[in-house]
Amino acid sequence: MKFIEKVGRTVDEAITEALIELGASTDEVIIEVISKGSKGLLGFGAKEAKVKVTLKEEAKVDIDLLESPVKVIEKSAVPKKEIKKETKKDSEDAVVVTPQELTEVINLAEDFLYKLLKEMSVECTIKSKVVNNNRISISIEGNNMGIIIGKRGETLDAIQYIVNIIANKKREEYIKVMVDTENYRARREETLRKLAYKLSKKAQQTKKPIILEPMNPYDRRIIHAALQDSKIVKTHSEGREPFRRVVISPTYQNRSYR
């Protein structure tokens, strides 16, 4: 049987990471807590929790999923409050900018990135290109890019956020700057798509809605886009930021879960 061991700040976090990597839900695995971990004193001497998660023999899942910030929660009913559908809109395609403006934004973004990465003691090269004549894609290349990506891509997202603020300072027309390294964003998108397809089948089989853990708007759009043409499930988002999450519901639900 396939199994993996994972660590985390808490037992729940370690289990979540294992489920994501296995591409499975809790009813498809056997969970063994190896160590509950401890917080230590004022953060000193803290020990991470460790779990062993084993796939049940009857579970048929994809085990090549990459790490992504998703945990699956199954509930007997979908809350009706604060339900707001998200549609796939890309207003960025309507942005019209000149080559000179793009060059100015690229220079600002690259200058800031070089300074930031130098402070982080990261040796790398930066390559920029224009996408759809109105957006900029910057790739950071070098060794040990894990420090740039961070846990679940959080550091990369933070860098991209700051770069966009710096590059668009005093601008009226916003030009989006996408920052990536080691093709991480494409790999994460593929992971989320695989997870979306798997969970859509599970929602159809169980005829129960599946609620994912809170995700950022970018990740939610990937899930919605992956299943927007599905005939077996439908998706919507609920909750308020930063706890907004995607719900995958079967087109035909068991009446007892409505």
The mean of the pLDDT values for the chain is 80
Q: Is the pLDDT of residue 67 over 80?
A: no
Q: Is the pLDDT of residue 153 over 50?
A: yes
Structure-token pair, residue 16:
């979540």
Q: Are 102 and 229 in contact (CB under 8 A)?
A: no
Residues near 146 by beta carbon (within 8 Å), at least 6 away in sequence: none
Is the pLDDT higher at 77 or at 152? 152
Please give the average per-residue pLDDT across 114-122, as a whole number. 90
C-alpha to C-alpha distance for 48 and 36, rounded to whole angstroms: 7
Share of residues in the chain with pLDDT > 70 (%): 78
Q: Is the pLDDT of residue 74 over 50?
A: no
Model pLDDT, residue 4:
85
Q: Is the pLDDT of residue 54 over 50?
A: yes
Structure-token pair, residue 165:
């603020």
Least confident of 82-91, 129-138, 210-219: 82-91
Q: Are 136 and 107 in contact (CB under 8 A)?
A: no
Report long-range pairs for 197-202 (Cβ below 8 Å, ≥24 apart): 197/226, 197/227, 198/23, 198/61, 198/62, 199/25, 199/72, 199/248, 200/227, 200/230, 200/232, 200/233, 200/248, 201/232, 202/25
Q: Are 176 and 135 in contact (CB under 8 A)?
A: yes
C-alpha to C-alpha distance for 164 and 224, rounded to whole angstroms: 25
Each residue of 20-40: pLDDT tens digit? 777 776 667 888 999 887 765
Please give the average per-residue pLDDT across 217-237, as a whole number. 93
State whether the Cα torsion 103-178-244-255 is positive or negative. Answer: positive
Model pLDDT, residue 126:
95
Strands (DSSP E) found in the chain? 3-8, 29-35, 49-55, 72-74, 83-84, 124-131, 135-142, 177-181, 210-212, 233-238, 245-250
Q: Residue 82 — very low, low, confident or very high, per pLDDT cuts 50/70/90?
A: very low
Is the pLDDT higher at 75 or at 2? 2
State pTM to two decimals.
Answer: 0.59
C-alpha to C-alpha distance for 139 and 152, rounded to whole angstroms: 18
Phi and psi angles of residue 50, each rounded to the nearest 5 degrees, phi first: -135, 135
Each residue of 154-172: pLDDT tens digit? 889 899 999 999 999 888 8
Model pLDDT, residue 180:
95
Structure-token pair, residue 116:
């930031």
Q: Residue 49 — very low, low, confident or very high, per pLDDT cuts 50/70/90?
A: confident
